[in-house]
Structure 1
Amino acid sequence: MEGWVRICDTGSLKQGELLEFDQAGKKLMLTRMGQDVYATDRICTHAYADLTGGFVNEGERTVTCPLHLSAFKLADGVPQNPPAETPLKIYKVKIQDNAIYIKID
C-alpha cells in the first residue's frame, strides 16, 4: 500500500462530518456521505478559510466555505459558485479492514 496513509477507523467518521487532519504538510479533511468517503484539501481556494468551519449539504454533496460561501463538490472539488474559481485538490480514498486510507501524491 505504498503512498496510502491510514487516517482513521471507519467508525470514527460520522455521516456528514468534516474531519480535519494534517498529513505530509497538507491541511486535509474527510467527509462521509452514505457509503462514500471523500478526501480534499480543507483550505478554500478563494481566500484562506478552513472549510471544516463551513457546512455540508448532503443532498448536493458539497461543502460550503464559512467565509464567502463558495460551495465545492466533494467528489471532484469543483466550485459551484463564486467567488471561488479554482477546484479543491481531491485525494483517492480506500476502505480496508475497517480503516480509511488516502493516497498522498
Structure 2
Amino acid sequence: MTQWLDAAAFNDIEDEDVARFDHEGRTFAIYRIEDNVFASDGLCTHEHVHLADGLVMGHVIECPKHNGRFDVRDGRPLCAPVCEKLRTYPAKVEGGRIFIEV
C-alpha cells in the first residue's frame, strides 16, 4: 500500500537544492528544481552517503563522497563510480508543502 508523506515546506528548499527527509528508519532526498519537486532514496547506491550533502546542478545530484551523479527525474546513474540506479518516488506540491509517495 502506498501513502503520501508530508516531507517538507516548498519554500524551505531553495531552487536547485536538496533536503534530507527521514521517515520510519528510511532516508529520502527531496529536490527542488525551478517549480518542480522530485524525490529519491537519500543514500547513494555506491557507498551509502547522504545525497542531501551533495550538489544539485540542473536535474543532476552529485554525491559528496566520490562525485558520482544521478538524474533526479528517474534515478539513472550518469557517471562512475555509480552504476546502480537510484530509486525515485512521485512528488507533488500541495498547499505549500511537498509530499512524496512511498
TM-score by length of 2: 0.91
Amino acid at match of 2:46: H
Tell me how far 1:24 sits from its aligned partner. 3.0
Q: Does residue 6 of structure 1 match 2:6?
A: yes
Query: What residue number does 2:89 align with?
Result: 91
> Aligned to 1:83, what secondary structure does the other structure show?
coil
CA root-mean-square deviation: 1.3
Residues 1-105 of structure 1 mapped to structure 2, 5 A cutoff: 3-58=3-58, 61-104=59-102
Identity %: 27
Q: Which runs of 4+ in 1 moved over 4 A?
A: none
> Aligned to 1:63, what secondary structure does the other structure show?
strand
> Aligned to 1:80, what secondary structure does the other structure show?
strand
Query: Which residues of structure 2 form unaligned runs of 5+?
Result: none
> How many Å separate the matches in 1 of 2:48 and 2:11?
30
Tell me how far 1:94 sits from its aligned partner. 1.4
Amino acid at match of 2:74: D
TM-score by length of 1: 0.88
